[in-house]
Each structure stands twice: as C-alpha cells, then as structure tokens.
C-alpha cells in the first residue's frame, strides 16, 4: 500500500494504518504533530527510521512487522504506549530513556537483556513473553505494575517480583521456576495467575491469594494442593498434568465454573460433589471408577472422562445441559443410562471400551467403590478359600498376590468415601462379624507398617481411622434412653445427674421442690446419642435456684426431658 498521499497532512494528530500491506513509512516523516500512530500488522515494515522525528508521539504500535532495529525511536521519549510485539528485536537499549511509558509490549522477539528498561518505573503493563530472558532483576523498581507477562522465557529466579505488590495479573507460564515463595505477599493478584509449565512442587505461597479468580498450575510436579482450600473466589482452576491424588482441598471452592484435573493420579472424586456451579470439568487420564459425585452437577456443559476405569455411568443420566461428553477408553458396556442425553450432544466419544481388569478396588464389579467393597474384603480377610467368592462375582484380592490382607484393605479404603460410609456403621445398618473396632484398630496398626509416603496408604489409613471412630461410637452407644440416680446423694452443695441417649435429642432438666415449685431449669441443648455418666458429661447442679440463691435442705425432684422421653427421680439436699 502506497501511503505517499499522506505526506502533506502535517496537522494530523491521530493516524491508524493497522492491518495493511505497508512496507515504506517514509511519507510519515513530516507528520510531526502526530500523537497517535498505529502501524501494527503491516508485515513488510523493517525500517522505522522515518519515524525518528515524530517526537510528539505518545502512542506507537508497530506489532507484527520485520523490525530488528529500534534505534530510530531513541528520541521518542514522550511515548506512554509502545508495542513492538512479534518482530525481530534483540536490543532494547534505544528505549532506556522512555521513562514515561505506562504500557510496553515487546513480546515475541529475541530479547535476552532487559536491563535498559530498569528506569521505567511508571509502567502499569509490561509484556515480554516469548523471548530469551533469564534475568528479570530490572523489574524490581517497577512497583506500579498491574499486569506482567513473562511467559515462555528462561526464568528461574523470580525473587524481585516480591516488590510488585500491586500486581493484579501475572503470567509466568513456561519458564524454569521451582520456587514461588516470592509471591506469598502479593495479595493483590485477583484477575489471573499463570504458572503453567514450570518445575513447581510447593504451592504454599498461594494460600493467601483469596481474591484470585483464575489460576493455572498445569504441567508442574504438584502433589499437595492443600494451600488452595482458602481460594474460594476461584472461578477457573487448571491442575492438569501434575501428581495429585487427593483433591479434598477443593471441596470448598464452590464458585468454580471451570476445573481441569486431567492427567493426575486421582481415584476418589467425592470432594467435587459440592462444586455444582461447574460448567466445564476435565478428569481425563486418572484412576476414577466411581463417578457418583457428578450426579448433582446439573450445570455441566462439557465433561471429559476419557481414559479412566469407569463402568457405571448412571450418575450422568440427569446432566441434561451437557453438549460435550468424552467417555472413551473406559470399561463401559451399558450406555442406556445416558440414552436421553446423546441427541443433545455436539461432541460425543464413547470409543475404545475394554473389559474391567480382574483386579481393582471395585470388588463386586458394580461400577462403584464403596463400603460394600470394603466389607467383601473384610469377610475374606486371611481366608485361604477367598477365590471361591469369584463364583458370586466378588474379587477381594485387589493386588492379585493370592492373599487377602492389609494391602487389599488399604487399596479399597483409599477409594471409598468415608463421609458416606461412616453413617452406615453409626446407624447399625451394616453388620459384619469381622468389622469390629478391635479388628479395625489392629488393621490400622498393620497399615502403619506399610510405606508411609505412599498416597494410597495415607488415604486408606485416614479412611480406616474414620470408620474406627464411627464404629467405636456405634459399639458404645446405649440402646435405650435413661435417667440415672444423681451422685452424690444426699449432697451439699452440688450434684451430678447422669443420663444416656439412644438417639440425638434436645435435652432439658427441670428441678422442683416437693410442693411442685420450679426451682431451676437446666437447658442442655441438642445433644448426640451417647453415654453422659461421668462428671465431665453428666448434668451439673450447683444447688442454687434461678436467682443464684442456695436452696434449703430437703427433698427435690428432677425431671429429665429428651425428645419424647421423660423421667423423674428424687434427690436430697442435706446441710
């Protein structure tokens, strides 16, 4: 495009020639009143020397050209905006006096040394992505920065970023970073933080970023995501391609709409059942067999379950908003539960299904790993004839070592939802002779002798402990509600009134004199079932009336009300 007709427009102040086929900019050299010039996406421009006299420019965009030499711009010190993205620049020293710049984009060039930029302390936005930068110490004094993009460089040390406490958006994707502790006090980050493609294992520095909306940790070496539990404003979270097995820290991130857990080591997804705002969920490439937690995710539009261990897809039957569904490379033989969804899907893949392996934590092969599977292992524990169970479709030897032992128990326990299993024990709805508190305690002791660093062992041990607590509760809970005799009796000046509850109830005790006059009411509140016998749990009366006055010697009656249960007993005050 020939722009020579513009050469005499010397009063022109604003000019955009973006997206043409301009190669020669010399006709612009006399337009010295220009303050705004957009020459972006003119792939033929290589020489910008005709612009050297345009000293009134405050805005200059030269993106996507063939420029390698910025020296003609050396005197354009009034610039507040400069974009030379996608060129062939190596040397940025001609920019060193542009101290009024607030926005600078030098991405997609060949820059390695950014020290000439060190005095640009007014910068609000700086984009130097896709260069060859390793040393970023020059950004230390750029404390006004709100947006910083340094992705796709060779950076390992980000210690200077700790000074940039106004950052709202930070992109360090595809570098060589392992230590992110310098980010720990940058609590202004709320728009976006991208740490994708680094060497990060420890993310504890992120735990205070409570206002962050989008976080990308894809492609690192992270196993512990506990620091994310307080980031409850997050809407988008990418944890793809890490080493994560436990996702319970995500259970409170209820504002998430987009979650990527692709290519990890996850088997239990029960923690996701509260994340009902999710519209996009990627669980591709994990170890998941039980997808019941997905049944409540009615807002999902995209779901990727490719390459897992799923056989039962009935939990998906009500996800009527799905438009994209990938079920390929699982163990599904029956697709009828989602027959009503398929017509609405824009993308659907159910290819490459295989038979379930003979091993696996789904002991009874019903497509769900739950307490029932654990009970089948318990029943066959140390049973030399466990193989006979196969005729009933039960396979308790999880690791196929020809013995059903603690390793099999741990393997199943690691994949069940203890929060769902414990109530079944607590309510006595499950009765198995071998599943006792004593046996559980013994199995826990044996499990502690296994590899303590193994995530499966850690998770399985934690589940067994939860079940032990539930079973201990069950074995010690009384079968009847009762009010027992107070002690001491007679007493002066205080006494304890023991009782027991067969089921949770609102508990009140009223104390009357022999003539029926109310002396005192003890409101004990809503209490769980249990034994309330000893002094630390029994109801306590200090021998005073509702006005704080000591009562006289004599006979008193105390009436115990727990739900629909009522009982009255007699006690004596002797002074």
DSSP letters for 198-250: S-----GGGTT-TT--EEE--SS-----GGGGG-TT-SEEE--SS-----GGG
The reply to whether 390 and 487 lie within a common domain is no
Q: Which of 417, 451, 476 is the last residue of a domain?
A: 476
Quick one: which of 497, 494, 502, 493 has its CA closest to 485? 497
Q: How confident is the model at residue 456 (pLDDT cuts 50, 70, 90)?
A: confident
Domain membership flag for residue 500 = yes
DSSP conformation class of 405: S
pLDDT per residue over 150-174, tens digit each?
999 999 999 999 999 999 999 999 9
Name the average pLDDT for the chain: 90
Quick one: which of 125, 227, 147, 144 has its CA closest to 194? 147
Q: Measured over all CA atoms, what is the biggest interatomic distance in the chain, rounded to whole angstroms?
A: 116
- Determine the 3-state secondary structure of 51 from DSSP: helix
Domain membership flag for residue 463 = yes
Quick one: which of 12, 69, 72 has its CA closest to 36? 12
pLDDT per residue over 186-243, tens digit each?
989 999 999 999 999 999 999 999 999 999 999 999 999 999 999 999 999 999 999 9
Q: What is the CATH number of the domain that holds 506?
A: 2.60.40.4070
CA gap 235, 191 in Å, rounded: 10
Domain membership flag for residue 470 = yes
The reply to whether 414 and 509 lie within a common domain is no
Whether pLDDT at 447 is above 60:
yes
Q: Which residues contact 548 (CB under 8 A, 6 or more apart)?
A: none
CA gap 529, 446 in Å, rounded: 31
Give the pLDDT mean for 314-328. 95
Number of domains in the chain: 2
pLDDT at residue 430, as a whole number: 45
Domain membership flag for residue 381 = yes
The reply to whether 492 and 401 lie within a common domain is no
Q: Count of CB atoms within 10 A of residue 185's CB?
A: 12
Give the pLDDT mean for 12-29. 95
Domain membership flag for residue 505 = yes
Give the pLDDT mean for 49-67. 97
CA gap 241, 56 in Å, rounded: 50
The reply to whether 489 and 555 lie within a common domain is yes
Whether pLDDT at 263 is above 90:
yes
The reply to whether 503 and 520 lie within a common domain is yes
Give the pLDDT mean for 129-145. 97
The reply to whether 451 and 498 lie within a common domain is no
Q: Which of 450, 476, 502 is the last residue of a domain?
A: 476
DSSP result, 269-328: -GGGGG-TT-SEEE--SS-----GGGGG-TT-SEEE--SS-----GGGTT-TT-SEEE--
Q: Which residues contact 484 (CB under 8 A, 6 or more apart)?
A: 497, 498, 499, 500, 533, 569
Give the pLDDT mean for 470-499. 84
Q: How confident is the model at residue 392 (pLDDT cuts 50, 70, 90)?
A: confident
The reply to whether 458 and 535 lie within a common domain is no
The reply to whether 458 and 486 lie within a common domain is no
Average the pLDDT over each of 297-306, 327-336, 461-470, 537-546 and give the range with the smallest value.
461-470
Q: How confident is the model at residue 358 (pLDDT cuts 50, 70, 90)?
A: low
Q: How confident is the model at residue 423 (pLDDT cuts 50, 70, 90)?
A: low
Q: Which of 423, 445, 476 is the last residue of a domain?
A: 476
Q: How confident is the model at residue 429 (pLDDT cuts 50, 70, 90)?
A: very low
Domain membership flag for residue 458 = yes
The reply to whether 445 and 385 lie within a common domain is yes
pLDDT per residue over 1-13, tens digit each?
899 999 999 999 9
Give the pLDDT mean for 358-372. 77
Domain membership flag for residue 309 = no
Whether pLDDT at 563 is above 80:
yes
Q: What percent of the chain has pLDDT over 90?
A: 68
The reply to whether 378 and 452 lie within a common domain is yes
Q: How confident is the model at residue 421 (pLDDT cuts 50, 70, 90)?
A: low
The reply to whether 491 and 549 lie within a common domain is yes
Range of the domain at 437: 371-476
Give the pLDDT mean for 372-394. 82
Give the pLDDT mean for 553-557. 94
Is residue 381 within 8 A of residue 302, CB to CB? The reply is no
Domain membership flag for residue 506 = yes
pLDDT at residue 428, as a whole number: 46
Q: How confident is the model at residue 426 (pLDDT cuts 50, 70, 90)?
A: low
The reply to whether 463 and 486 lie within a common domain is no
CA gap 10, 24 in Å, rounded: 18
Average the pLDDT over each of 105-109, 276-280, 314-318, 462-466 and give the range with the smallest value.
462-466
Average the pLDDT over each of 1-10, 93-102, 273-282 and give the range with the smallest value.
1-10
Give the pLDDT mean for 275-303. 94
Adjacency order of strands within the sheet including 554-562: 518-527, 505-513, 554-562, 565-573
pLDDT at residue 137, as a whole number: 97
Between 484 and 444, whose confidence is greater? 484
CA gap 439, 467 in Å, rounded: 11
Whether pLDDT at 422 is above 60:
no
């Amino acid at each position: 495009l020939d722009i020579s007709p513009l050469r005499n427009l010397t009063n022109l102040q604003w000019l955009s020639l973006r997206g043409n086929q301009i190669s020669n900019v010399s006709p612009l050299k006399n337009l010295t009143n220009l303050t705004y010039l957009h020459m972006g996406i003119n792939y033929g421009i290589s020489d910008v020397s005709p612009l050297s006299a345009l000293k009134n420019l405050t805005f200059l965009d030269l993106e996507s050209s063939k420029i390698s030499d910025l020296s003609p711009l050396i005197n354009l010190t009034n610039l507040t905006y400069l974009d030379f993205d996608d060129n062939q620049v190596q040397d940025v020293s001609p920019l060193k006096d542009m101290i009024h710049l607030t926005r600078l984009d030098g991405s997609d060039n060949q820059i390695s040394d950014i020290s000439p930029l060190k005095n640009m302390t007014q910068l609000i936005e700086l984009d130097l992505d896709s260069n060859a930068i390793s040393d970023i110490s020059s950004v230390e004094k750029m404390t006004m920065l709100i947006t910083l993009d340094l992705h796709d460089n060779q950076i390992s040390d980000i210690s200077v970023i700790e000074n940039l406490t106004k950052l709202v958006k930070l992109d360090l994707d595809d570098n060589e970073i392992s230590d992110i502790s310098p980010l720990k006090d940058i609590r202004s980050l709320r728009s976006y933080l991208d740490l994708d493609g680094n060497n990060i294992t420890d993310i504890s520095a992120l735990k205070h970023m409570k206002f962050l909306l989008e976080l990308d940790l894809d492609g690192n070496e992270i196993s512990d995501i506990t620091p994310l539990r307080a980031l409850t404003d997050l809407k988008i979270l990418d944890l793809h391609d890490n080493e994560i097995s436990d996702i319970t820290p995500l259970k409170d991130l209820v504002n998430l709409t987009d979650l990527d857990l692709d290519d990890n080591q996850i088997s239990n997804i029960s923690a996701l059942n509260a994340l009902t705002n999710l519209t996009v969920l990627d669980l591709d490439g994990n170890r998941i067999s039980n997808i019941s937690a997905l049944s409540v995710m009615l807002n999902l539009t995209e779901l990727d379950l490719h390459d897992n261990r799923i056989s039962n897809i009935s939990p998906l039957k009500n996800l009527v908003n799905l438009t994209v569904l990938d079920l390929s490379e699982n163990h599904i033989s029956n697709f009828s539960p989602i027959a009503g969804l398929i017509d609405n899907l824009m993308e659907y893949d159910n290819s490459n299904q295989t038979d379930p392996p003979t091993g696996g934590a789904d002991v009874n092969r019903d497509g769900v790993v739950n307490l029932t599977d654990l009970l089948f292992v318990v029943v066959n524990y140390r049973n030399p004839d466990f193989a006979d169970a196969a005729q009933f479709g039960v396979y308790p030897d999880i690791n196929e070592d020809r013995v059903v032992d603690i390793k099999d128990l741990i393997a199943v326990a690691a994949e069940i939802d203890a929060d769902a299993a414990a109530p079944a024990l607590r309510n006595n709805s499950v009765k198995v002779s071998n599943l006792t508190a004593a046996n559980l305690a013994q199995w826990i002791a044996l499990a502690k002798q296994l590899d303590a660093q193994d995530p499966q062992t850690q998770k399985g041990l934690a589940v067994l402990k939860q079940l032990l607590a539930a079973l201990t509760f069950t074995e010690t809970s009384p079968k009847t509600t009762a009010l027992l005799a107070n002690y001491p009796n007679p007493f002066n000046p205080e006494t304890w009134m023991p009782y027991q509850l067969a089921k949770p109830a609102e508990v009140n005790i009223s104390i009357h004199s022999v003539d029926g006059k109310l002396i005192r009411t003890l409101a004990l509140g809503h209490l769980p079932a249990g034994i309330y016998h000893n002094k630390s749990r029994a109801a306590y009366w200090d021998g005073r009336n509702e006005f704080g006055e000591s009562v006289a010697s004599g006979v008193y009656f105390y009436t115990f009300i727990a739900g629909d249960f009522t009982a009255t007993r007699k006690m004596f005050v002797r002074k």
